[in-house]
């Protein structure tokens, strides 16, 4: 399978913790679909201190995984929201 485009889309979205509304990432997302995964190479700004854990409330919001050969975060349903 092909790897995701490194340059990717130019539109950025902010990803928040659904529990405490703390900002987690600023991310270059493509398309209009739901937020299911987040490729690490497309993250513009990372506000987390430890991987897959909210810096404010400590909730685990994702799993570290490989998708199409690229490192990514796979989000747990209902744990994050985007704006």
The answer to whether position 3 is within a domain reads: no
Grouped pLDDT means (10 residues each) for the chain, 83 residues: 68 95 94 92 94 95 94 96 93
The answer to whether position 6 is within a domain reads: no
Summarize pLDDT for 14-24 with one digit per residue, the tens: 999 999 999 99
Residue keyed to tokens 């929201």: 81
Total domains in the chain come to 1
The answer to whether position 5 is within a domain reads: no
The answer to whether position 1 is within a domain reads: no
Q: Which residue range(s) make up the domain with 22?
A: 12-82
Burial class of 73 by CB neighbour count within 10 A (0 to 12, 13 to 18, 19+): buried
Q: Model's pTM, two decimal places?
A: 0.85
The answer to whether position 18 is within a domain reads: yes
């Amino acid at each position: 399978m092909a790897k995701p485009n490194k340059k990717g889309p130019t539109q950025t979205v902010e990803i928040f913790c659904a529990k405490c509304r703390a900002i987690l990432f600023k991310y270059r997302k493509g398309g209009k679909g739901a937020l299911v995964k987040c490729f690490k190479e497309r993250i513009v700004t990372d506000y987390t201190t430890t991987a897959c854990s909210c810096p404010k409330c400590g909730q685990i919001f994702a799993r570290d995984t490989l998708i199409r050969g690229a490192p990514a975060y796979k989000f747990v349903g209902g744990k994050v929201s985007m704006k």
